[in-house]
Amino acid sequence: MVEWSVFWVLLNLAGVHYVIAALVAFVLATFANYLLCIRTIFASKTSSVRSDIARVYIASAIAYSVNLLVFIALVNEFAVGPMAAKMAGTGVGFLLNFASRQFLIFAPSAWLSSRRSATDRQ
């Protein structure tokens, strides 16, 4: 939602080129996603916030590259509107981002682990 909202505002209200709007939206959304991840779903595997943020941005940059390729291809090659193309690209990027966080960057949070344990006992 952060990415789409920032993208829409920059594209439609500020008149920013769609690729630049997508890039700015990605940077802001990645930071928001990092904050949400560490507060709700995942726990750090390291003791360094800088290391965590760097790994999140590296993984997100890879996913964003795929997101952007899907987005640009849909706009330029298939004449899909920028907002619909952005949503499709974001969907692909979301799957890659979540997988990287789940399996490479973070450990499950204590809260999530306790919820899983409670469910397994029932």
pLDDT tens-digit map of 64-90? 899 889 999 999 999 999 889 989 998
**CA–CA separation, 80 vs 75, rounded Å?**
5
Judge contact between 15 and 82, C-beta under 8 A. Answer: no
Burial call 38-55: b when 16+ CB within 10 Å, e when fewer = beeebebeeeeeeebeeb
pLDDT tens-digit map of 5-28? 999 999 999 999 988 998 899 889
